Chain A
Amino acid sequence: KQEVTQIPAALSVPEGENLVLNCSFTDSAIYNLQWFRQDPGKGLTSLLLIQSSQREQTSGRLNASLDKSSGRSTLYIAASQPGDSATYLCAVSDNTNAGKSTFGDGTTLTVKP
């Protein structure tokens, strides 16, 4: 059974700092990996999706990497801003059933002005 872990559970940084969020998964047979942002009491917003054949994806100040063989992904946020404060979740979809995703518990990021 796939298990997804995100460490740390919470992170606090000063504004302007570059930071890395981590996601690890136990079964490397994935279809893709997706990073999401969730604001308190809200739904999830997709940030980046990496197919299993890709190594990284970039969108603005965000860069996500995928190392399938080691079961790891990182989300790099450059020049953090207070508006980046949210919970970030990663999810992997199953290689044999792409409709089935397993989520991590998320990392709650606080960017202090």
Chain B
Amino acid sequence: DGGITQSPKYLFRKEGQNVTLSCEQNLNHDAMYWYRQDPGQGLRLIYYSQIVNDFQKGDIAEGYSVSREKKESFPLTVTSAQKNPTAFYLCASTLEAGGTQYFGPGTRLLVL
């Protein structure tokens, strides 16, 4: 079964802690994306990567970091610099930039 997996489903962060959200795809897609969704709102782009070892900032990159060492993996780290991290985080991929976006099931991040 091809698709995108995200883990964990729920994640709790303590004050001052960095946490990493996992995103893996087996669709052989070149491009991957991270979005943040707040209640009742649409998605906002955090980071995207169109090829391995390359990524660009989206609209709300401050307080987040990413890496793209493998084609199938695009982990997102929420750093302590992100003061309001509580949100639903969604990972997506496309065969190429501008193609149909396929989404994972999401990770809900909560602050303790």
Contacts and interface: CB of A to CB of B under 8 A. Distances in A.
Interface of A: 4, 31-32, 34, 36, 41-46, 49, 89, 91, 93, 97-106
5 contacts: A43-B104, A44-B90, A46-B103, A91-B43, A105-B41
Given A42-B106, A97-B97, A99-B48, 16 more contacts: A34-B100, A34-B101, A43-B104, A44-B103, A46-B101, A89-B43, A98-B98, A99-B31, A99-B50, A99-B56, A99-B98, A100-B58, A101-B33, A101-B45, A103-B42, A105-B40
Interface SS of chain B: helix, strand, loop or mixed?
Answer: strand
B44 interface: yes
- Residue picked from A4, A46, A93, A99, most chain B C-beta under 10 Å: A99
Chain B interface size, as a band, is 20 to 34
**For chain A, what secondary structure do more than half of its interface residues adopt (helix, strand, loop), or is it mixed?**
strand
A34 B43 CA distance: 13
Interface string B86-112: 001010101001111111111010000
B97 A89 contact: no
B34 to A, nearest CB: 12
B106 A103 contact: no
A99 B33 contact: yes
Contacts of B100: 34, 46, 49
